[in-house]
Structure 1
Amino acid sequence: MMGSKNKHPAVVLSRLEHLEDLRLKMLDALESAAKSGGFRQSPGSFQGPIAVLQDTARRVMDLAPFQAAALWLVDETTSDFQLGWCDPADRRDFMEREFEQLTREGIIALAVNGERPVMAAGSAPQFRHMVQVLATPARVRGLLLAHLQGSYGLPDGTLPLVNILCQSAAALLEGLELYQLLRVKNQALQEEVEVRRAVQVRQELLSQAFYSSLEGMLVIDATGRILEANPAVQTLVKRPPETLIGRHVRTILSRTGTRRQFRTIMREIALHGRFKGEIRGRDKEHGDFFVWLSVNAIQDQTHRVGHYVAVLHSIAGRQELETALMQAEFKYRDIFERSPVAIFRSTLDGRFLDVNQAYAEILGYASPEEIISSVSNISAQLYVDPRDREAYTRTLLEKGSVKDYEVRVRRKNGTYILASMNTRVIKDAEGRPASLDGFIRDITAARMAEEEKERMQTQLHQAQKLQSVGRLAGGVAHDFNNMLGVIIGQAQLALMKISAEDPLKHRLQEIEKAAQRSADLVSQLLAFARKQTVVPRFLNLNEAITGMLKMLERLVGENIELRWQPEDGLWPVKIDPSQVDQLLINLVVNAQDAISGAGVLTIQTANTALNKPMRFKQEDLPAGEYVLLTVSDTGCGMDMETQEQIFEPFFTTKDVGQGTGLGLATVFGIVKQNHGVVTVSSKPGQGTEFSIYLPRLFVRDPEIAPAFAESTMQGGTAKVLIVEDEPALLDFARETLEELGYSVLTAQSPWEAVRLVQSLSEHLDLLITDVVMPEMNGRDLAARLQALEPGLKCLFMSGYTKNVIARHGVLDEGLNFLHKPFTMRELAQKVAQVLKDTAQS
C-alpha cells in the first residue's frame, strides 16, 4: 500500500507533462500554419489600414475577456506610433494614457524588440495589459495594446493566437501598401500612353497640314539644305518636291543676286527670328518669278536654331493689283469715309463741312451726318475751353499749318478726351483762306501711359531701395547667424558638461536664450526683406501668433490696444512660419497707419467650413474647411476705389517717400502661394477688416502628418565630413557629432574638402556643408564630392542661401537643409534623418 501511494503522484505528473507537450505541439502547428498564410485574409478585402486595425481589434476581443483593444500604426517617415483604432471607442483616451505610461516604463520598447506578446501591469493595481508588435521582415508596422481588468484571466493558448493575429495584420498592412504602389504605377503608365498617343495624333495632323497645304512649304536645316517640300511647291518652281530634298535653298532663288537675297534673308532671321518679304525665285521652265516668302526659325531645346520653316505665296498678279490700287486711289470719297484716321474739313468760323466715320466715332457720334447736323459751333460745343479754338485758328492763319496741337475736346456724352490735331489751311483760287483740313488723334491713353511710366519709374526707385535693404539684410544674416550658431552651440556643450546644481547653469541658459532671441530677430529681418528660405510645414496659427505678440505690441505702440482672440482647437495649416510673421507684420503696420491717435487692433482666429463656394471681389473660394485669420482695426477705413487697388504692387495711399506700396501686395502673394484667399472689408470712418482663409491641413494623412513628439538625440557610427569656413562653428558641429558617436572629418574651405575626400581610402557617408563660402558655394562642392564618392548624402546649412539651393526663397525639391543658427538637438535630428533616409532608399 505504501508503495502504490508513492507511485500515484508520479503517474499524474507524467500524464500532465504529456498533455502539456501535446498542447505546445498543437500551438506550434497553428503558429506554423498562420505563418504560411493559412489564417491570412486578402489585402483586397480591406478598404485601408484602419479597416485592418478594426478587424484585428474585433478578433482580439473575441479571443479573451479583454475590456479594450487599441492598435497603433507606425509613421514610416518619423517612426512615431499613432493611434489608429480603439475598441470600444469611448476607451480611446484611457488607452492612450496607458500607452504613454508603458512607453515611459520601457514596456513598449521591449515588445517592439521581441516577437511574442508581453504582459505588463497598468497605471493601477487592477489593470493588466498585453502588448504585441505588428511586424513583417521589412519593418515594424504597428502595435497592439489589450487591456484586462480585475481578476479576469487569459484562456490557454491566447498569447500564441494573438501573436498569429498580429503577424497576419502586419502582413495585410504591408500588402495594402504594395497594392497602393501598384495602383500609382499603373496610373502613371496609363498617363504616359495617353501622352504618347496625343503626340502621335498631333504629329499626324501637322504632317497632313504640311502636305495638304495650298501654299508651298519647305523645311530647311540650319545649313540651308532642304529637308522636306510639300506638293504645292511644284506649282511655283516647276520641279517635283522630291528633287529638291537635299539641295541648298539657293537652288530656288533667282540667279540674279542669289547670294545677296540669301544673306538678306539670313540677316533678318538672325535679328528678329523670322523673315517676311518679296523675293525673286527661279523655276525650271519659265525663269524668274516673284514670290512672297515667310520664314520662321525653329529653336531646339538648347535655344539654338535647328530648322527653318518657309512658306511661299505666289504674287504673279501683282501688276494687276497695283493697277487696281492706283484706280482706287482716285476714289477719294471711299477712302475718306472708310479711313480709320479721323479726318475733317471745317470753315474758319467753326462749322463742319465734312467729316468721316472715324471722326464721328472718336467724338461719340453714330455717323458723320449726326455730328454735322448737331454741331453748329465747334468752339462752343466741342472745345472744353473755347479760347483754345481761337488760339488754334490764329496760329493756323499765321503759319498755314499746325502739327500735333493738343487740346481737350468734349464728346457727345459729356466726357473729355485729349486730342492731337494736324491741320492745314486750304485756300481758294484767289489765295484767300477758305477752309481747314486736318485729322485728329485721341492721345488720352498715350498720355496716361506716359504718366504711368513716370509713376513706374518712381516705384522702381522705391523697389531698388528695398532691394538694397534686402542685400544688406542677407549679408548681415550670413555672418550674424554664424556667430549666433557658435554662441548657442558652445552654451549647449557647456550645459552638457556641468551638473544641474552648478551655479553657472542659470547663466549659460540665459546666454542660450538671448542668442536664440537674437536669431529670431535675424529671421524677422530676413522675412521683412523677403530673403528667407521658405519651407512650408505643419503649423498651429495660435502658437505662431502668440509667440509674436510681444513684438507686435512694441510695433503698434502704447496708444493702440492690441487684442488677441484665438479659437480653441484651431485646425492646423501648412505654411512657412516666417511667412506668418510677414503676414502679421504687414497687416499690423497697415492697421497702425490707419489709426490716428488711440484705437483698437484685433487679431482673431477661427475654424470655418464652407458647404459651397464663396465669391469674393478678389477671387472665388472653393467649398471646404479653412482656418480664418482676421486682422481688424478701428482706423480711418477705405473707400471702394481704394479697396479695388489695395493689393496691387506699389499702390499706396501714403505721401511720397512714406511707403513702398509692397506690404499688402506681399500679403496677397503669400496667401496665394499657400492656396488661400485674402479679402478686405472697409468703409470710410468705420475701420478695416482683412480676412485670410488658409486651407485646413488634415494631419491624419500619413504623407503630411507631423511628428508630434520631439525625437531624442540619436547617435550613430557613420563617417561625416563637415565643411564650414567659420572655425568656431565648425568645432561646435564636430564636437556635437563626435559626442553622438559619429566619425567626423572637418575642412575650413571647399578645396580643402575636395583634397581630403580624394585622399580617403574608406567610404564617406555624409557631407554637411555651408552654402555660402568664398571659394565655391555648397551646391557646387556637393556635386564635385558626389562625383568622387557616388551615393554621398548631403546636408546644406546656412542662414542665407542666396538662391544657391532655393529659387525665389522656396527650397529646391529633394534637398536637405538646416537653417542657421541651430541647436545640438536640431543638428543631431537632421543628421539622423538624412542617414535614415539613405538606409531606407
Structure 2
Amino acid sequence: MQESLKKSQAPDIQEKNPVILTIDDEPDVRNSIQAYLEDFDYVVYGAANGREGLSVFQEKPIDLILVDLRMPEMDGLEVLAKVREINENMPIIVISGTGEISDVVEALRRGAWDYLLKPINDLSILIHAIEKGLERARLRRENRSYQKRLENKVDETTDELIRVNQRLKDVVESTKKLLGCGELQESGQVILEEFGKHMNAKGGSIYQVVTDGLDLLYSLDPGHANEFLPFPLKKNSPFDKALQSSEPFYVIDIEKNDSIETSGWKHYSDNSTLILPIIERSGKTIAIIALHSKGEPFIMQDKEIGTILASYASEVMQTAQAEAALQRNEEYLRQVQKMDAIGTLASGIAHDFNNILSAIVGYTDLSMFSGDLSPAIEKNLQQIKKASNRARDLVQQILSFSRSDSFEESAVDIGPIIEEVLKLLRAIIPSSIAIEHDVPIGLGKTITDPTRVHQLLMNLCTNAAQAMKAGDGLIRITFERLARAELPDDVTEMGSDFCLRLTVEDNGCGIEGSEVSKIFDPYYTTKQKGEGTGLGLAVVHGIVTKSGGAIRLSSEVGIGSTFQIYFPAIDTVVTKVEPQPEPLMPRGDERILFVDDETTLADVVGEMLTTLGYRVDIMTSSVDTLKLLRNAPDDYHLLITDQTMPVLSGVELSREALQIKPDLPIILFTGFSTAIDHESVQEIGIKEFLMKPLSMNRLAAVIRDVLDDSQGARL
C-alpha cells in the first residue's frame, strides 16, 4: 500500500527533486515529517526555530516551506513576513496545533498558501497540500513567463516601428498610446479613437469576434452601431467579407459597389467605408474595425497606415486578452486556495462540533428515556433534540459547500428546501428588500442533489438582492408543477411528462440584452471589480444541467430579471405522510467494548448502552484498547470505536483487532473524515460506519442489527 502511494504521489524529478524546508521547534514532528517526505523523494531541510529557518532559506534553493506558528525566538507569523520580503512568490504552508480561526485568518492574510492542523493523522494530506502548492507555484511562474514573453514581443515590434521613415511619426506616437492600454474594453476604445484620428473619420466601431457573433467594444458615434451581430452574418456584408478574406479593404461608395450587400449597413452608405480586420499571430481574426464619415473617400494610403496600426492593435488586444486570462487564472487559484482552506477548517470544526452534538443528543435521549417527565420538561427536551438535528444538518451543509465538486443525487422534494432557504434569506438580505413566495409542498420529486439546490437558490436570490442598487425592492419566488404541454416552446430538454418550475424574479437593475447570452459563462460578470468572480451563475447552470433540467433568463434594463428553472418530475404528487411514533429501542445483554478519546462522549454512550441492557467497558485510548483485546479477545461480542484518535485511528485499531479476532463485529463512527466511507471500511471488515451525532434509537438499532447478523453468520 505504502509503495503504491509513493509511486502515485512521488514528485516529478525530471530536473531536480523539490526542496522542502520544515520549521518546527518539536524535534519529533520535524523529524517525522522529514522522514516521511524523504520517502517520497523530496529533499528536506529542517530548522528548529524561525531564525534558523530563515538562515537555511537564504542559503538553500528552497521550493516550499512548512512552518509551525508557535515557536521560540521567532514565531511562524514573523517567518511568513520575512520570507515574503525576500520572495513574495514562495509557497508557504502553515502546520499548527492551534485551530483558532483568528490564527488561520492571520496566517492566510500574511501570505500562507495553506493551513493544516496538527496532528496530521493521515500524512497523505500533507503530500497533497505540498503537491498543490508546488503546482500552483509552477503555474504562476509560467504565467509570469508568458506575460514577459508578450511584453518582449511588444517591445520588439515597437523597436521595429521606430526604424520606419519620418512620415510615420504620428503612427509611432499612436502605438505608444495603445501600448498603455490595460483592459480589453479600454484597449478597444483607444484603438478606435487612434484609427479615427489618423483616418480623419468621425464615425466607426470596433467589434470583438466571439463564439456566436461580433460583440461591440466601442463606437465613435454611440447608438449608431448594433451592440451585437449574431452569426451567421449577412452574406457579402462588409463584416462578412472581412471575416472571410482576413484582408483590409476600402469602398469609395458602398451604394455603387455591387459586391457589397448594403442591407443593414445603411449608416455606411452616405460615405466611403474602410474595413480593417485585426488578426492575431495564428492568422485568426480577433476583431474588426469599420470607419466611415470621413468627409472624402478613403484612399490606398489610409489602408496602408491602417494596416500598420492594425498590427499594433493586434499585439495590444492579444496582450489585453492574455492579461485578462492571467487575472482569471490567478482569481481561480485564489478561489481554489480559499475553498481548500475553508474545507480544512470546516472539517476540523465539523469533527469537534459533532462530538459536542453527540453528547447533547445522547444526554437528551437518556433524559427522555428515563420516563416520569412532566409535559413541560418533555417538550423542552424535544426542542433540544430538534435544535441539535438542525445543527447537525447545518454542519453537513457547510461541509457540502466546501466540497463544491460533489454531487450526491437522490429523489428530492424541492418544496421544503425552498422553505429552508427562505428562512436563511430573511437573515442575510436587507430588511428593505421584500420577499414574496408561493411555494406549495408536495408537488412532486426530482433527481438532484438537495444541497446543490439549496446553493442554487441562495445564489440566485443573493444576486437578485445585489441587483437592487438603491437597497430596496422585491424578490418573488414561486414553485409550480407543469405538464409537458404547458412548457414554453424554447424548453425542449425535459424528458418527463411533468416538470417542476422554480422561478426567481426581482425588480432590480436588469441585464443588457447583449449580456444575457453570456451570463452563464464562467468568469463573466456584470458586477464591479471586487463584487464577484463571475463563477456564481456558471455554477447554477452546472447544477441545473447535472439535474437534467433547463434554465431560462429574461431581463429588461430598469425593470428586473426573471430566472426560471425546470426540473423533470419523476413521480406523481407527493402525499403528506403523518409522522409515525418511533419503534421501541431493541435491547441486549452482550458485552461491548467502546472506545473514544472524548471522555464526555465515552461516558454518555456508555450510559446509553448500559440503559439498553448491555455490559459495557469504556476506553479512552486506542492503544489501551488494543492491549485489552490481546489479553482477552473472546470477552467481547462487539467493538465500537471512534475514528479520530491519537496514535491509532479507528481504522488502524480495527485492522489490528481483526488480526486478533477475525470474527469480531466492529462499528466505526466519526464526527467527520474525508479519508473513509462505507465502501472503504467494509473492505477492511468493519460491519457498520456511522456519522455523529447519533440518536439513542439509531445506535440501539444498528448495534442490534450488527450483533444479530454476526451471531447468524456463526450459526
**Higher strand share goes to which structure?**
1
**Greater Rg over alpha carbons, structure:** 1
What is the TM-score with the length of structure 1 in the denominator? 0.43
TM score, norm. by length of structure 2? 0.49
